[in-house]
């Protein structure tokens, strides 16, 4: 009887020990991260600005952000190399105790970059705690960013290049930019606080023309002008194919309904008309205003939405650093046919970011599929093990493969047919066939001042698979020295330089 009780007691104690062991491992391993990050666990919350931090690398191996040891109370300072700081500011963002926040990739991938417990993969790691920081490598190269910077030198604007097959961002640069290393301080020379040491620099950037702290490429939406005609043309084939055979009379202007004699004119007052292919390559405003009227607000809105308007592109940047582009809802055009006609040529209340228009070009390039845009390539831990690799996936189907191929062939006319608005810009001795669309939107209803655009993809000849899609915007603001220019004249050289470098790097 006694031996039996001892055996039962032994079994109970062994069960209790097993449960204790499991619960200990539950706390130390499975729930460790959750417990450490619990806001009620104040004793285990170290100042994140005092912790080591992983590096950010460009696709061609340059360090874009790193941490260095300091002799002050923080012990670690985030720094940005001078050679690439302004070049990648809109991408890396900053991680600053002085500002008290993080932006860009520094914020988006903070959980990997900051020191954290590494996952246990062996029995020994189950019983010990291993702290690690991860490094991230992005899809953007220094070489292509430098080409973008050079092309935009002295200009306000932005350019985005994408691999339409994967959604990988190849270049993303906006001007004006800023130097994130200005915020890499722990205090001033006279003992000022970190914030006081950067206040003047930060305030100056906040009030600078062009909003350098706001990513021009992803968060500043402007009227896309005639680049929106790519969406119009796709809507015709997708939703009203009978319009594709319409012949547009050659006119210099058309009356706007219900406006007591107001008219809408072509750029420069030129006469323009012809088949759909011709009015696209010549960018006839009169024709596409009528297209908007013939399509109607519902069809045009649904096509714009399919291409990503009115949605924030799913790029891996923090909330608020990528903006939605806008095409008004059908209800907004109730009783406003003139507004619909102006919207069809990318004006009125239509706005788009440079990223959005690059995605429009990418959708046409990739047979109607827009791949999710992304900056991340890989995450690697401090022992060289790959923690995560980005896997490309579609964001949305913008249009059918047949429509995309047809529109792409029409866009070839823009660069290859005499009279095309970008004719001769991409000579065959320098480029493969390039499909493009120009855009020039008025900034104000009176006087000069324009948003100048060009979107393009290549190689875009018959049977070819486009590997690069590029969009650029260069505004010319109103003013006493303002002059009317076109997207081809101003944004064209930017796209040309970036396209040429991107294609060469893919060889």
Name the residue among 273, 295, 292 with its Cα closest to residue 284. Answer: 273
Strand runs (DSSP E) across 372-413, as ranges?
A: 376-380, 386-389, 394-397
CATH architecture of 218-374+393-505: 3-Layer(aba) Sandwich (3.40)
Residues of the chain with pLDDT under 70: 1-13, 15-45, 119-129, 187-195, 197, 445-447, 480-483
CB 74 within 8 A of CB 52: no
C-alpha–C-alpha distance, residues 218 and 205, integer Å: 18
| The residue to which tokens 């200990």 are assigned | 24
Q: Residues 73-112: pLDDT tens digits?
A: 778 889 999 999 999 999 999 998 888 889 999 999 999 9
Token pair for residue 398? 């913008």
Name the residue among 144, 178, 43, 238 with its Cα closest to residue 499. Answer: 144
Name the residue among 155, 159, 205, 200 with its Cα closest to residue 180. Answer: 205
The three-state (H, E, C) secondary structure of 231-285, written as one string: HHHHHHHHHCHHHHHCCEEEECEEECCCCCCCEEECHHHCCEEECHHHHHHHCCH
Residue 310 Cα distances to 50, 221, 269, 303, angstroms: 40, 11, 32, 11
Write down the pLDDT at residue 43. 45
C-alpha–C-alpha distance, residues 223 and 441, integer Å: 6
CATH T-level fold of 47-114+133-138+179-211: Penicillin-binding protein 2a (Domain 2) (3.90.1310)
C-alpha–C-alpha distance, residues 61 and 48, integer Å: 26
Chain-wide mean pLDDT for the chain?
A: 89
Write down the pLDDT at residue 71. 83
Write down the pLDDT at residue 480. 66
C-alpha–C-alpha distance, residues 319 and 322, integer Å: 7
3-state secondary structure of 94: coil
pTM: 0.88
Name the residue among 243, 277, 267 with its Cα closest to residue 408. Answer: 277
C-alpha–C-alpha distance, residues 394 and 166, integer Å: 8
Write down the pLDDT at residue 275. 98
Domain spans of the chain? 47-114+133-138+179-211, 218-374+393-505
DSSP-derived pairing of the beta strands 135-138 and 56-57: parallel
C-alpha–C-alpha distance, residues 439 and 283, integer Å: 8
Write down the pLDDT at residue 28. 53
């Amino acid at each position: 009887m006694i031996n039996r009780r001892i055996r039962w007691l032994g079994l109970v104690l062994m069960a209790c020990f097993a449960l204790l062991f499991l619960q200990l491992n539950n706390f130390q391993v499975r729930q460790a991260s959750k417990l450490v990050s619990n806001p009620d666990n104040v004793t285990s919350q170290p100042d994140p600005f005092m912790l080591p931090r992983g590096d950010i690398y460009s696709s061609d191996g340059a360090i874009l952000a790193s941490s260095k040891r300091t002799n002050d109370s923080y012990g670690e300072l985030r720094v940005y190399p001078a050679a690439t700081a302004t070049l990648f500011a809109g991408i890396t963002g900053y991680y600053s105790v002085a500002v008290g926040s993080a932006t860009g990739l520094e914020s988006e991938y903070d959980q990997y970059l900051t020191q954290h417990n590494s996952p246990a993969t062996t029995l020994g790691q189950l019983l010990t705690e291993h702290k690690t920081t991860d490094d991230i490598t992005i899809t953007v190269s220094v070489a292509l960013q430098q080409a973008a910077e050079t092309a935009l030198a002295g200009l306000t604007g932005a350019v985005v290049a994408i691999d339409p097959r994967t959604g990988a961002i190849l270049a993303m640069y906006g001007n004006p930019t800023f130097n994130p290393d200005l915020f890499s301080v722990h205090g001033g020379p006279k003992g000022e606080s970190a914030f006081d040491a950067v206040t003047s620099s930060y305030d100056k950037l906040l009030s600078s023309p062009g909003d350098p702290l706001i990513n021009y490429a992803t968060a500043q939406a402007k009227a896309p002008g005639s680049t929106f005609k790519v969406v119009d043309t796709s809507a015709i084939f997708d939703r009203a194919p009978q319009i594709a055979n319409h012949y547009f009379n050659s006119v210099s202007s058309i009356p706007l309904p219900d406006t007591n004699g107001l008219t809408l004119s072509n750029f420069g007052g030129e006469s323009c008309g012809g088949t759909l292919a011709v009015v696209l390559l010549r960018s006839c405003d009169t024709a596409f205003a009528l297209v908007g009227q013939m399509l109607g607000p519902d069809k045009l809105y649904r096509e714009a939405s399919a291409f990503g308007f009115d949605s924030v592109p799913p790029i891996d940047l923090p909330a608020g650093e990528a903006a939605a582009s806008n095409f008004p809802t059908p209800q907004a055009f109730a009783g406003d046919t003139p507004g619909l006609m102006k919207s069809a040529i990318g004006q009125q209340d239509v706005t788009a970011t440079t990223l959005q228009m690059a995605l429009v070009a990418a959708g046409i390039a990739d047979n109607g599929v827009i791949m999710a845009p992304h900056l991340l390539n890989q995450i690697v831990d401090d022992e060289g093990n790959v923690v995560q690799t980005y896997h490309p996936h579609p964001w949305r189907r913008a249009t059918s493969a047949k429509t995309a191929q047809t529109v792409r062939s029409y866009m070839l006319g823009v660069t290859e047919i005499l009279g095309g608005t970008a004719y001769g810009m991409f000579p065959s001795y320098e480029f493969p066939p390039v499909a493009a669309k120009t855009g020039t939107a008025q900034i104000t209803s009176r006087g000069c001042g324009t948003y100048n655009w060009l979107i393009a993809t290549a190689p875009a000849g018959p049977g070819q698979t486009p590997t690069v899609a590029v969009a650029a915007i260069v505004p010319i603001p109103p003013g006493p020295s303002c002059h009317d220019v076109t997207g081809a004249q101003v944004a064209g050289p930017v796209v040309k330089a970036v396209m040429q470098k991107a294609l060469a790097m893919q060889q």
